[in-house]
Amino acid sequence: MIHKQGLYKYALLVLLLICSILLGVVVSLLAGQQPMDTQDFTMAAQNARKSVVGIEAKGKEVVRSGYYYDFFRNRFFRRDYREFVEDFENMGSGMIIDSTGYVLTSYHVVEAARDLTVSFSDGNRYAAEVVGLDSLSDLAVVRIADTTRRFQPVSFADSDRLRVGQWAFAMGNPFLNFFRNSDPTVTAGVVSALHRNFRSSSGAIYQNMIQTDAAINPGNSGGPLMDHNGRVIGVNAFIFTGSEESPQAGSIGIGFAIPANLAQRVAQELITHQERRKAYTGIVLYDVPAPGFYHEPGVYVQYADPLGPAAEAGIRMGDRITAVNNRRIHAPHDLTGILVPFFPGDTISISVVREGERRNFPVVLGTR
């Protein structure tokens, strides 16, 4: 009996020892995974360094001086402005999207450039040329001139699956013109909001923008906004600054990025067609309300191209369009903004009111 009790105690001790070992293994594994759930982006940023580049764009632009007065030309002291050509140099960021050297960046970084240089974190610098520009989405693709080299492209995440509050970090070269060092800067934050819409003074239309509190400063434009795994979720575009007088005042914690899904589609368009083909509906709109409809949103179809996509879908002149893809239309330019994320061949739903009856028409977008 005493012998059996000893065996039981021994077996119990062995069991407790095994449980302790297993518990230690589980704790170690959990501890090893923990950095993926925190804001530690060390490995992700390290892996992305080879794919994030600095961009130097040089060229000439027409600028306007302050007013001047020429007595012999203007006897009534009218203020006038003088235009002259001036050299410029833009500094921005970009990301490798193809191993052969295609680089995705911002339109406003390279729009008027005659001389482009792409700089890597290892110090290598390459001449580049513009492949295609899209002013509407503020995106551009350039290509490194040395086609014999192969480069490491970034990986993209599905930006439609983003959630407010998830971790994000921005990479770029905000100080390229100061340090002359193309090693990218990393700033961290969260996805603060989604589906932000803006229209810039330059005409660019930003739809479904990602808002983040990761610091995005001048020079970050065109660089990636990434998730904690180092996958691109957006293209850094612009910031709100602390000074209306000086757009270079720096970040105040509100930055915006173009969603990765849209950026990829635009990039493919620019690579394939060297331009962004605009989605075409074939209708001309006006917003003069008819009697009895002052309280209703909508614009009216002034003209419908008989061979255009909208007419082929059944939309007629005189129809009142109230929504596109369930987004209300209040003015003709609203349609332009809504169509920014869409491409020829995509299908949209146009809601109209005709003779008091509400109808929905699926329209396959075309191109001209």
> Residue ranges of the alpha helices (H) in the chain?
2-33, 42-48, 107-110, 176-179, 260-273, 309-313, 332-338
The closest of 43, 206, 217 to 136, measured between CA atoms, is 206
Which residues have a catalytic role annotated? 108, 138, 221
Tell me the residue ranges of DSSP E strands in 13-154: 52-68, 80-96, 102-106, 113-119, 125-134, 139-144
Q: Please identify which residue in the block is written with the tokens 């599905």.
A: 158
The torsion of the CA quartet 241, 242, 247, 248, rounded to 10 degrees, works out to -90
Counting beta carbons within 10 angstroms of the beta carbon of residue 171, is it exposed (0 to 12), middle (13 to 18) or buried (19 or more)?
buried
Q: For residues 76 and 284, what is the distance between their CA atoms, to the nearest angstrom?
A: 44
For the chain, how long is the longest CA-to-CA vector? Answer: 126
Number of H helices, E strands in the chain: 7, 18
